[in-house]
């Protein structure tokens, strides 16, 4: 069982608030609330102050919230209006300058806060998210477990895929296998894209039937203890790959391997992106790789840091990121390969199996 780090996470946040001159922070982001308190419900508001943390939620979580939160925060249950209860909580102690999550709060939320009697509210950005970038051992283990679960689910359903299967049917079998193995939910809508639709980087899933000899791209994930894994595999259905398919696939695989072996904490996101992009460009497919190399993973499937051609921020030790180069050729199809990597201080640590030899489902 991993160590309980909620107290240290809150302490780190309080240090940041003190630096910014804030007397309190209202946290609305549910992943941030989970990170700081352990609460997994769908409705909650959290106040972090120098002396305490108070979670406000509604009657649906009257039993669940105290059990999950324990001593990490005081829990307040309101049967009518959580914002009214939050107002009373905030007014318990004088607040000169309060902070709120500007990337989460709506205009209506800001209007509510203005009625709390706090002299000044300051918008903040990504205060908790910056703490979440660096994963502890328990978080890394959860992502590794989610990746293993996802890999097992794919291995179960791939042998059943045949020409004539619809993308919807394949996605349904994959999602059922994920849930049967214990995935808490799907971190994002599963992408199953066949034939020319594989050239759409975020194709979604459709009623289209897979034809013999076509690409089948599967982008899917699993969730364990709240933490997400994100994988992509591309296979050929019902035939051997032709020469062009092999050439494109080998290019993507080589680009991914170079990035996986050489990505390091301390390099910029742009430098990491270039590891794969240079290979694809040298092979003549540079214009066909239009998205970034990867993104952070954690309680959300898209977190900081970014691995992209414009990302100048340094990749910190402890981050978990995806490495997912692709080539997309409209009207023909596309290939993407994606694995999850922990940027440990001593070097990259694969959290997924990187089983990317070309699969031909005959």
Q: How many domains does the chain have?
A: 2
Q: Tell me: do 156 and 261 sit in the same domain.
A: yes
Q: Which domain holds residue 181?
A: 137-361
Last residue of a domain, one of 90, 112, 132: 132
pLDDT at residue number 3: 79
Q: Tell me: do 247 and 330 sit in the same domain.
A: yes
- 1: in domain: no
pLDDT at residue number 2: 64
Q: What is the pTM of this model?
A: 0.95
- 234: in domain: yes
In this prediction, the residues of the chain whose per-residue pLDDT falls under 50 are: 1
Q: Which residues, at least 6 apart from 112, have a Cβ–Cβ distance to it below 8 Å?
A: 83, 87
Last residue of a domain, one of 103, 132, 161: 132
Q: Tell me: do 249 and 327 sit in the same domain.
A: yes
Q: Which helix (H) or strand (E) holds 305?
A: strand 303-307
CATH of the domain at 71: 3.40.350.10
Distance CA 233, CA 239 (A): 17
Last residue of a domain, one of 132, 160, 179: 132
Q: Which residues, at least 6 apart from 231, have a Cβ–Cβ distance to it below 8 Å?
A: 147, 150, 151, 154, 219, 220, 221, 338, 339, 340, 352
């Amino acid at each position: 069982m991993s160590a309980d780090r909620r107290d240290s996470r809150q302490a780190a946040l309080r240090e940041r608030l003190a630096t910014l001159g804030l007397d309190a922070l209202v946290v609305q982001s549910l992943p941030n609330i989970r990170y700081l308190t352990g609460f997994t419900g769908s409705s909650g508001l959290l106040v972090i102050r120098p002396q305490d943390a108070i979670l406000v939620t509604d009657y649906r979580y009257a039993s669940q919230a105290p059990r999950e939160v324990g001593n990490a925060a005081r829990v307040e249950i309101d049967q009518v209006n959580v914002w009214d209860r939050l107002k009373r909580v905030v007014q318990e102690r004088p607040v000169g300058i309060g902070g709120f999550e500007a990337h989460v709060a709506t205009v209506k939320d800001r209007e509510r806060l203005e009625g709390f009697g706090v002299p000044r509210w300051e918008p903040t950005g990504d205060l908790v998210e910056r703490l979440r970038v660096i994963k502890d051992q328990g978080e890394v283990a959860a992502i590794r477990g989610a990746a293993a679960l996802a890999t097992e689910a794919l291995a179960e359903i791939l042998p059943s895929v045949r020409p004539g299967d619809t993308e919807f049917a394949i996605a349904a079998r994959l999602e059922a296998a994920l849930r049967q193995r214990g995935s808490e939910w799907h971190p994002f809508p599963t992408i199953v894209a066949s034939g020319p639709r594989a050239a759409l980087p975020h194709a979604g899933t459709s009623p289209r039937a897979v034809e013999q000899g076509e690409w089948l791209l599967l982008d899917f994930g699993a969730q364990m203890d709240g933490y997400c894994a994100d994988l992509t595999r591309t296979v050929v259905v019902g035939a051997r790959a032709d020469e062009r398919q092999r050439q494109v696939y080998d290019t993507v695989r080589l680009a991914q391997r170079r990035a996986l072996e050489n990505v390091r904490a301390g390099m910029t996101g742009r430098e990491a992106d270039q590891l794969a992009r240079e290979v694809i460009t040298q092979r003549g497919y540079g214009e066909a790789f239009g998205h970034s190399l990867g993104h952070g993973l954690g309680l959300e499937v898209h977190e900081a840091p970014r691995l992209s051609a414009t990302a100048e921020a340094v990749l910190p030790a402890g981050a978990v990121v995806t490495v997912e180069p692709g080539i997309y050729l409209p009207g023909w199809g596309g290939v993407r390969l994606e694995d999850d990597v922990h940027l440990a201080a001593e070097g990259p640590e694969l959290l997924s199996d990187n089983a990317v030899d070309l699969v031909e489902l005959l």
